[in-house]
Amino acid sequence: MSLSFEKLEVYQLAEKLADDIWSIISKWEYFEKETLGKQLTRAADSIGANIAEGSGRGSYQDNRRFVRIARGSLYETRHWLRRTFHRKLLTEKQVQELQPLISELGPRLNAYLRSIGPTEASNYESRTKDK
C-alpha cells in the first residue's frame, strides 16, 4: 500500500468520471440538480473517495472492503445515469462520452481489488507450511 492513491490509474479514472458528470450537471436547472443531480454527483464522487479512504486505512482487508464499496458506487452511478438519460437530461453525445469511462472503470476496480495485499492462496500456504 505504499503507492499514493492519487497515482493509481483507477483513482484517476474515477476522478475523470466524477468531474465529467459534474460539468454536465452544473448546467442543469434547479429541480434537476436538486433531485437527480445530487444523487448522481454523490454516487460518482463516492467511487474515488472510497478508493482514497481504503488506501489510507492501513490494512489490506480494509482497503479491499472500500474498493468493493467503490464498485457499488459505480453501479449506483450507472443507475442514476440511466435515469437521467431516460428523463432526457443527458444527450446521446454525453452518453457516448461517458460510456467508455464507465466501461473501463468496472474492470479496473476489479483488477485493483485483486491486486491488493496477499492472496488467499498465499495466506493458506503460509498457514499450512507451519503445521
pLDDT of residue 104: 97
* pLDDT per position as a tens digit, 24-51: 999 999 999 999 999 999 999 999 999 9
Indicate the pLDDT class of residue 18, thresholds 50, 70 and 90: very high
Phi-psi map region of 32: left, alpha, beta (phi>0 left; psi -120 to 50 alpha) = alpha
- Whether 126 maps to a domain, the answer reads no
- Whether 128 maps to a domain, the answer reads no
Q: Residues 53, 66: contact at Cβ < 8 Å?
A: yes
Given a cut of 70, is residue 129 above it in pLDDT? no
pLDDT of residue 3: 63
- Whether 124 maps to a domain, the answer reads no
Range of the domain at 42: 5-118
- Whether 60 maps to a domain, the answer reads yes
Residues 6 or more apart whose CB falls under 8 angstroms from that of 2 comprise none
pLDDT of residue 120: 54
* C-alpha torsion 8→11→13→15, nearest 10: -140
The pTM assigned to this predicted structure is 0.86
Nearest to 47 by CA among 25, 20, 26: 20
* pLDDT per position as a tens digit, 70-128: 999 999 999 999 999 999 999 999 999 999 999 999 999 999 999 998 755 444 444 44
Given a cut of 80, is residue 20 above it in pLDDT? yes
CATH of residue 102's domain is 1.20.1440.60
Given a cut of 80, is residue 69 above it in pLDDT? yes
- Whether 32 maps to a domain, the answer reads yes
